[in-house]
Amino acid sequence: MTWLMKVKTISCDELANQICSLAYHVMCIDTRSMLQYNDNHVRDAINICCSKIIRRKLQYNRISVVDLIKNNNESQEEDLWNRLHQVVLYDEASWWGDGHRFNSQHALYILVEKLKQFVPSVALLDGGFSEFAYKFPKLCDSKIKSNCPLLSISTPCASAGSINCPPTKILPFLYLGCEEDALSEDILKTCHVKYVLNASHSAVDSPYCTTGRYLRIPIKDNSSENIVAWFQTAFDFIDKVKESDDHILIHCVGGVSRSATIAIAYVMKHFSLSLD
């Protein structure tokens, strides 16, 4: 008997019915990359893309799957775990009835085993997100328009005004963007951003942040700058935003170097990740 035979599978039709039911509480976990998730995902799904480090921490109980979910779910109610009927995990396009096998190091294996300790039922979605999105596009939540290419996590939306491409959502409360994003009142309102961290020496100040909600870290875009020296200042400012349940945009000029470095450093701090 393979591990997969012990795990329930669910069809796209069944999941759609559960999502639309007021009496049935289901949580969807998107195990694809953050970029794929930000592009489009099942409505209200949360993203847990298990890196090697996260898998190791889960395996050795250095982090709880519940804490991992809380860190990625900005609207989780306190009694959610008591009301949940089922958790459904999905990837891009796997059909679990085709004899696919896992070993104990596979991210889905680890997540399912950990989730079984907290919820009555854990299931894998047959066909993955691509099948669900094809059949039920109205039950999906697209964060980035299809004409905004997902080249990398810090792809600058330099033409955001013309193609309506928002900043990248790194954490539930943290966005990464470029100078033009900070100068766009519409983009800031769409992302519910009230705080801006300008990680540049030359980018124009955002006119849409009140006193105390704007921070400039005057880093020049050259290799001689010691950006690490500014990490704690940035972390303190971002933590203030997190504690106030607001949203922050981190940007430089293009959104590809200085601001991305600070965002990555904060994510590592947020999840207690090391360089190994």
Active site residues: 252
Would you call 147 exposed, middle or buried from its count of C-beta atoms within 10 A (0-12, 13-18, 19+)? exposed
Helices (H) and strands (E) counted in the chain, each on its own, are 12, 12
Cα–Cα distance measured from residue 1 to residue 38, given in angstroms and rounded to the nearest whole number: 36
Burial class (CB in 10 A: 0-12, 13-18, 19+), 68: buried
User: Positive or negative CA dihedral for 256, 258, 262, 268?
Assistant: positive
Alpha helices in the chain (DSSP H): 12-20, 34-39, 52-59, 65-71, 80-83, 107-115, 128-135, 160-163, 179-182, 185-190, 231-243, 258-270
Query: What are the backbone dihedrals phi and psi of residue 255, each rounded to the nearest 5 degrees, phi first?
Result: 80, 25
In degrees, to the nearest 5, what angle opens at C-alpha 31 toward C-alphas 27 and 35?
115
Locate 65 and state its tokens: 């799957």
Q: How many CB atoms lie within 10 A of CB 86?
A: 20
Q: Which strand (E) or helix (H) includes residue 122?
A: strand 122-125
Pick from 110, 31, 117: nearest CA to 81: 117
